[in-house]
Amino acid sequence: MASTAQAHSLIPADDPRIQYSGRVDCSNPQSPRFDWSGVSLRLRLKGPSLGLLLEDRQNRFDVWVDGKPQTVLAADGRKGPYVLEDLGSGEHQIQLTRRTEASWGVTTFRGLSLPPGSELLAPPAPPTRRVEFIGDSWVCGYGNEAVSTHCDDLLPYENANRAFPLVAARELKAEVHLVCYSGRGVVRNYGDPQRRSEEPFPALYDRLLCAEPQSRWNPAYWQPDAVVIHLGTNDFSTEPHPDPQDFKDSSIALLAHLRAQYPQASLFWFCATGWPNYYSAVETAVKARNAAGDPKVYCVGYPPAPADQMGCDFHPNVRVHQKLATLLARALRQKLGW
Question: What does the alpha-carbon distance between residue 51 and residue 9 come to, in Å, rounded to a whole number?
Answer: 10
Task: Name the percent of the chain lying above pLDDT 70.
Answer: 98
3-state class (DSSP) for residue 65: strand
Beta-strand relationship, 33-34 and 82-84: unpaired
pLDDT band at 1 (very low <50, low <70, confident <90, very high): very low
In 3D space, the residue among 97, 88, 114 whose CA is nearest the CA of residue 41 turns out to be 97
pLDDT at residue number 4 = 45
pLDDT band at 10 (very low <50, low <70, confident <90, very high): very high
pLDDT at residue number 2 = 45
pTM of the model: 0.95
Question: How does pLDDT run across 150-208, given as a tens digit for each residue?
Answer: 999 999 999 999 999 999 999 999 999 999 999 999 999 999 999 999 999 999 999 99
Q: Residue 211 above 50 pLDDT?
A: yes
pLDDT at residue number 6 = 53
Question: What does the alpha-carbon distance between residue 51 and residue 113 come to, in Å, rounded to a whole number?
Answer: 5
For residues 45 and 120, is the Cβ–Cβ distance under 8 A?
yes
In this prediction, residues 96-118 reach a mean pLDDT of: 95
